[in-house]
């Protein structure tokens, strides 16, 4: 039975990954280490709380003693590091926590994995172990109208978030190049789907449209993101963990580039028709001040993961966005719970000067 340390899996992608893996592998152990920041939500995991294949541990990936103890207790085969501060806007107002979690946290996980898996006497690594870093296309910076991010594209991050993620990627490669640690890095484009915290574009817009609130579109609304349904990302991470070549980076994306305003108008049209609500129309759109250092376009070239591992995205955007809107409409209580309390304060602070 393979044993995984999965971090940050009370958040959006991690939650989806836990369900994906439990469905796919009858025999598996997932030890889920999550600090439960504002973005972590145990309610996400209630459908597997009685499943012995999933063990939840509340804690910080920066905590050396805790992580060392988990390695001793479980003798992990894999580490898959999802844990991160993940929101670009928050990184612009508060960069330090991004350096702490995304940078120092990653180094702590690498060091604890090395201590557990590397025999310094024989200078050998234990068989079958691997560290996987869940990174992002944002480390490559911003594209103009043409071209795509390849694994060979130089790193050129712009935001404090993407800089902290790029720095983590460099440490992962440093552990590979210096100590021979078995590692992979995935760099995925924008995810959407169930359980995403409504600070991110799609769930924020769904929630605002439903409540007839203004829809804050940054700048001219023509920034382009490459959207991937979250389950397709989970599939890619599983394939890379279990088949990726040692020391390699794999880009993940489905050639589904859309300007932000297209996404917002799609959500308006969908909810207008589904809820039969004439109070929902494009008049809700409000163009607001642009995000500082706003990357213009992301676009992934996924040729490598397709050719080497046979990965392909299964959910076209037209289907994925309907599934996503269905999920949020069916999980009104989830949305109410995560948007109560601190969320209101965050929203007012973040959008007051826009």
Could you list the active site residues?
A: 137-138, 161
- 257 contacts: CB under 8 Å, gap ≥ 6: 224, 225, 226, 227, 297, 298, 299
How far apart CA 173 and CA 192 sit, in angstroms, is 28
Report whether 139 contacts 162 (CB < 8 A). Answer: yes
Binding mask 232-261 for ligand DAU (x = CB under 6 A): ----------------------------x-
Stretch that binds ligand DAU, among 102-110, 113-121, 212-220, 325-333 (CB under 6 A): 212-220
Give the footprint of ligand DAU on residues 45-64 (CB under 6 A): none
Give the footprint of ligand NAD on residues 186-215 (CB under 6 A): 188, 190-191, 197
4, 5, 6, 14: which one binds ligand NAD (CB under 6 A): 14
- Measured CA distances, 343 to 205, 221, 354 (Å): 14, 24, 17
Work out how close the CB of 26 gets to ligand NAD at its nearest, in angstroms, rounded to a whole number.
Answer: 25
Q: Any contact of residue 217 with ligand DAU (CB under 6 A)?
A: yes
Token pair in block for residue 275: 């809820």
Stretch that binds ligand NAD, among 36-44, 150-158, 201-209, 240-248 (CB under 6 A): 36-44
4, 5, 6, 8: which one binds ligand NAD (CB under 6 A): 8
Secondary structure of 257-296 in HEC code, one letter for each residue:
EEEHHHHHHHHHHHHHHHHCCCCCCHHHEEEECCCCCCCC
- 26 contacts: CB under 8 Å, gap ≥ 6: none
Q: Any contact of residue 15 with ligand DAU (CB under 6 A)?
A: no
Buried residues in 260-269 as b, exposed as e (16+ CB within 10 A): bbebbbbbbe
Binding mask 282-321 for ligand DAU (x = CB under 6 A): ---------x------x-----------------------
Quick one: 176 or 187, whose CB is closer to ligand NAD? Answer: 187
How far apart CA 41 and CA 196 sit, in angstroms, is 10
Give the footprint of ligand DAU on residues 125-164 (CB under 6 A): 136-138
Closest chain position to ligand DAU (CB): 136
Q: Radius of gyration over alpha carbons of the chain, in Å?
A: 20
112, 134, 204, 206: which one binds ligand NAD (CB under 6 A): 134
Give the footprint of ligand NAD on residues 149-188 (CB under 6 A): 165, 188
Kindly tell me the burial class for residue 59, based on how many C-beta atoms sit within 10 Å of its own C-beta (0-12, 13-18, 19 or more): middle
Report whether 276 contacts 121 (CB < 8 A). Answer: no
How far apart CA 138 and CA 324 sit, in angstroms, is 23
Looking up tokens 């501060």 gives 85
Quick one: 136 or 324, whose CB is closer to ligand NAD? Answer: 136
11 binds, among ligand DAU, ligand NAD, none (CB under 5 to 8 A by kind): ligand NAD
106, 108, 136, 315: which one binds ligand NAD (CB under 6 A): 136
Q: Any contact of residue 257 with ligand NAD (CB under 6 A)?
A: no
Q: Any contact of residue 10 with ligand NAD (CB under 6 A)?
A: yes
5, 18, 61, 88: which one binds ligand DAU (CB under 6 A): 88
Residue 186, Ramachandran bin (φ over 0: left; ψ between -120 and 50: alpha; else beta): beta
Q: Any contact of residue 240 with ligand NAD (CB under 6 A)?
A: no
Q: Any contact of residue 11 with ligand NAD (CB under 6 A)?
A: yes
Binding site for ligand DAU (CB under 6 A): 86-88, 136-138, 189-190, 200-201, 204, 216-218, 223, 225, 260, 291, 298
């Amino acid at each position: 039975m393979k044993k995984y340390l999965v971090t940050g899996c009370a958040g959006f992608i991690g939650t989806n990954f836990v369900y994906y893996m439990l469905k796919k592998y009858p025999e598996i152990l997932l030890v889920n280490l999550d600090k439960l920041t504002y973005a972590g939500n145990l309610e996400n995991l209630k459908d597997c709380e009685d499943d012995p294949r999933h063990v939840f541990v509340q804690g910080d990936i920066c905590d050396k003693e805790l992580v060392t103890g988990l390695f001793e207790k479980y003798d992990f085969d894999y580490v898959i590091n999802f844990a991160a501060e993940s929101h670009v806007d928050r990184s612009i107002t508060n960069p330090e926590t991004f350096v702490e979690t995304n940078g120092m946290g990653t180094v702590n996980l690498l060091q604890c994995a090395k201590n557990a898996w590397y025999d310094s006497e024989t200078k050998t690594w234990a068989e079958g172990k691997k560290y996987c870093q869940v990174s992002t296309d944002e480390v490559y910076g911003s594209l103009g109208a043409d071209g795509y991010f390849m694994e060979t594209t130089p790193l050129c991050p712009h935001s404090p978030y993407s800089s902290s993620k790029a720095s983590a990627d460099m440490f992962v490669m440093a552990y590979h190049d210096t100590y021979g640690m078995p590692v992979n890095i995935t760099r995925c484009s924008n995810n959407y789907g169930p359980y995403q915290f409504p600070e991110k574009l799609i769930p924020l817009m769904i929630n605002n449209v439903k409540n007839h609130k203004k829809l804050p579109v940054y700048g001219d609304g023509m920034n382009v993101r490459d959207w991937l349904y979250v389950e397709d990302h989970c599939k890619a991470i599983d394939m890379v963990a279990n088949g990726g070549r040692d020391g390699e980076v794999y880009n993940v994306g489905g050639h589904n580039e859309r300007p932000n305003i297209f996404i917002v108008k799609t959500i308006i049209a969908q909810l207008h028709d589904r809820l039969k609500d004439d109070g929902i129309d494009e008049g809700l759109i409000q163009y607001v001040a642009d995000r500082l250092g706003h990357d213009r376009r992301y676009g992934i070239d996924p040729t490598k993961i397709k050719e080497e591992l046979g990965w392909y995205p299964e959910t076209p955007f037209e289907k994925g966005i309907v599934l996503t809107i269905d999920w949020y409409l069916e999980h009104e209580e989830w949305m109410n719970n995560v948007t109560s309390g601190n969320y209101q304060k965050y929203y007012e602070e973040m959008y007051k000067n826009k």
